[in-house]
Amino acid sequence: MRLSKNQKGRDFVVGDIHGNFNLLEIFLKDVTFNPEFDRIISVGDIIDRGPNSLEALDYLRKPWFYCVRGNHEAMLIGAQDRVYGMYELWMHNGGEWSDEASDELLNEMAGCYRELPYIIEVETEQGKVGIVHADMPNSRSWDETLEAIENNKMRDKEMQVFLWSRDTYRKLRMCQEYPGAIKETSIDGVHKIYVGHSIVQTPVAYGNVMFIDTGAYTSGKLSIVDISNDEVIIVQAA
């Protein structure tokens, strides 16, 4: 999905919500969010582990809320499609809330999640900004990756990188634990890429990949970034 430059409002990228929509509501109030002009772009994993996964559909229907597919959305899809072992994997990773939902509702959610893009690109004053759930294949530039997806030339194994990979996160940890051990690299052709999936104490970058999942379901902290100026806002319930 490509979003044109927001000429009238603000664009915010939000980390993994995991059903903690109460934290997002606190943020919307604190920044006087204007649904006419402002936009929220989620790095995915808006369901599971937190208390209000059933609210996810309501947000996906809002014209100002955009979201990429995360691995938790992928697990719900796989469970509904009866993919071998996927239901059990989902139950081990926070899908228990689905016991309260009807099959009709779960099928509706799966249908919505199948429409979610793997990547969102936003035009900004600084250039292209990308939003991906977990990671990027580091063998391609940004434009090469998008072209491969659009022309169905990307292998399934590479597509799974967007949902599950922690390769770049491991490089980040290596840099943190052993400064100078490896040289940071960036993805060519894009100003910055925001990802979730791997929990960090505070948003941090490796090259031009910025990790913004601060563990809303464990720490109670939801991180949001204003992509016009890289201002980080951390919301925590009282």
Q: State the DSSP code for 86.
A: H
Catalytic position from the list 72, 92, 133, 197? 72
Residues 6 or more apart in contact with residue 132 via CB below 8 angstroms: 43, 68, 118, 119, 162, 193, 194, 195
Whether residue 141 contacts residue 187, with contact meaning beta carbons closer than 8 Å, is answered with yes
φ, ψ (nearest 5 deg) of residue 83: -70, 130
Report CA Rg, the chain: 17
Concerning whether 18 is annotated as a catalytic residue, the answer is: no
Q: Beta strand 204-206 with 65-67: parallel, antiparallel or unpaired? A: unpaired
Write the DSSP string, 159-219. HHHHHH--HHHHHHHHHHHSTTSS-----TT-SEEEE-SS--SS-EEETTEEE----TTTT
Residue 221's identity, in one-letter code, is K
CA-to-CA distance for 149 and 16, rounded, in angstroms? 24
* Residues annotated catalytic, as ranges: 72
